[in-house]
Structure 1
Amino acid sequence: MGATGTLKAVLFDRDGTLVVDVPYNGEPQLVQPMEGALEALQKVRRAGLATGVVSNQSGIARGLLSLDQVMAVNHRVEQLLGMFEVWKICPHGPEDGCDCRKPAPGMILDACSALGIEPSEAAYIGDIGSDMEAAGAAGALAVLVPTHVTRPEEIEAAGIVADDLGHAVDILLSMASETRATEDAPV
């Protein structure tokens, strides 16, 4: 894992990673989990790891969505996929220059702070390059799960690429277990 060697949380991008991406979705009834998302989350939770969602929501800044609509969609995500310990959204547009909008690390840093962990104790799973950049800038482990919108250069640049969400979780849990075995080995 990171400098501390222990994975304590897995953070997820929302659209295109946990749920099917419906651009600027403000309608909870349109929320549809990605295939295998519930099972992947159940594995993470059974392993005793915290879960969180970190999501750019520029539709708010663009006047296409209200914060209430985003919150209603997030609530629907939890109804379908279970509760998350932390949610962080960026309501800003790309031109706003905030430090929370991915690829900036702000939301991941805030999520880790809210969970009481170091970024090196977290992993972030997303579907595009800005997700990987944000995780890297924060000091968290990054796993890319490509979709039809992921550009080839984003896949090439990613350190860890998984076939799907379940595979991403398996990779992280395997790495965490190897790290624990190494730490527990007699010297």
Structure 2
Amino acid sequence: MTIANVGTRGPRPAIFLDKDGTLIDDVPYNVDPARVCLTRGAREGVTALQAAGYALVVVTNQSGVARGLFGGEALLIVRARIEALLGRRLDGFYWCPHYPAGVVREYAIACGCRKPQPGLLTRAAGELGLDLARSWMVGDILSDVEAGCRAGCRTALLGQPPDPLSLAPQYMPTLVAGDLAEAARRILGATGKSGERSALDDPRPAPRA
């Protein structure tokens, strides 16, 4: 499912943001705007990244739709709440409503858009005219990182560095940060603070010491 702003120009680099646990606090299956709160550093990080010219695109698994807990219209309200808290518009808001064990038949399927599949990112790139090779996927779990790597993006993992044995080497994050503010500082440092290619601008994960 897709919500994208009209008139977005490309090709632009993007910051693909996971929603729950990355941009807002992780409250399972929450669509109550009163309970939507930004994570630490989210507003600061998003502000810096947008000012540097990155498109801001949320990509999120929302199996609650397939489970019959809420409909897509509830996510429109969540998007509006997030934008109000950030004080800025998002360039896109994409979600996967699918879950094979769901109770809503049309969504109870295996798909190519549920992370770690890259479908949400590649669809957003096509619709919004985004340059995946200059883009970043930022999330708090390894499926976010894998989705970004599969789409050809660099990746930032929020939280603790992963165990090198927990995933294939090609899906290791490019960088690990404590929160979105730190991730933004490191992303901007790696790209000359403009989103343009630099000597460090390689979509492949950086080697880890």
Fold similarity call, TM over 0.5: yes
SS in 1 for 2:176: coil
Matched, 1:76 2:81: yes
Matched, 1:46 2:59: no
TM norm structure 1 = 0.85
SS in 2 for 1:177: coil
Q: Which blocks of at least 5 consecutive residues in structure 1 are unaligned?
A: 1-5
Deviations 1:121-140 (A, max 9, x none): 21110000100010011111
The CA RMSD measured in Å over matched residues stands at: 2.4
Question: In structure 2, what residue type is equivalent to 1:134?
Answer: A
Deviations 1:38-66 (A, max 9, x none): 11111011112211100110000011111
Identity %: 37
Q: What's the counterpart of residue 116 of structure 2? A: 103
* Shift in Å, 1:9: 1.4
Q: Which blocks of at least 5 consecutive residues in structure 2 are unaligned?
A: 1-10, 102-108, 201-209
In the alignment, the residues of structure 2 paired with residue 62 and residue 151 of structure 1 have an alpha-carbon distance, to the nearest angstrom, of 30
In the alignment, the residues of structure 2 paired with residue 164 and residue 139 of structure 1 have an alpha-carbon distance, to the nearest angstrom, of 23
The alpha-carbon distance between structure 1 residues 177 and 72, as it changes in their structure 2 partners (threshold 3 A), is same
Select the residue among 192, 195, 200 that pairs with 1:177: 192
Residues 53, 87 of structure 1: 8 Å contact kept = yes
The alpha-carbon distance between structure 1 residues 128 and 182, as it changes in their structure 2 partners (threshold 3 A), is closer
Q: How does 1:1-150 map to 2 (within 5 A)?
A: 8-81=13-86, 82-95=88-101, 96-146=109-159
Residues 12, 129 of structure 2: 8 Å contact kept = no
The alpha-carbon distance between structure 1 residues 118 and 8, as it changes in their structure 2 partners (threshold 3 A), is closer
TM norm structure 2 = 0.76
Question: In structure 2, what residue type is equivalent to 1:139?
Answer: G
Count how many residue pairs are aligned between Structure 1 and Structure 2: 175
The alpha-carbon distance between structure 1 residues 7 and 160, as it changes in their structure 2 partners (threshold 3 A), is farther
In the alignment, the residues of structure 2 paired with residue 138 and residue 180 of structure 1 have an alpha-carbon distance, to the nearest angstrom, of 18
SS in 2 for 1:42: helix
The alpha-carbon distance between structure 1 residues 23 and 181, as it changes in their structure 2 partners (threshold 3 A), is closer
In the alignment, the residues of structure 2 paired with residue 19 and residue 61 of structure 1 have an alpha-carbon distance, to the nearest angstrom, of 22
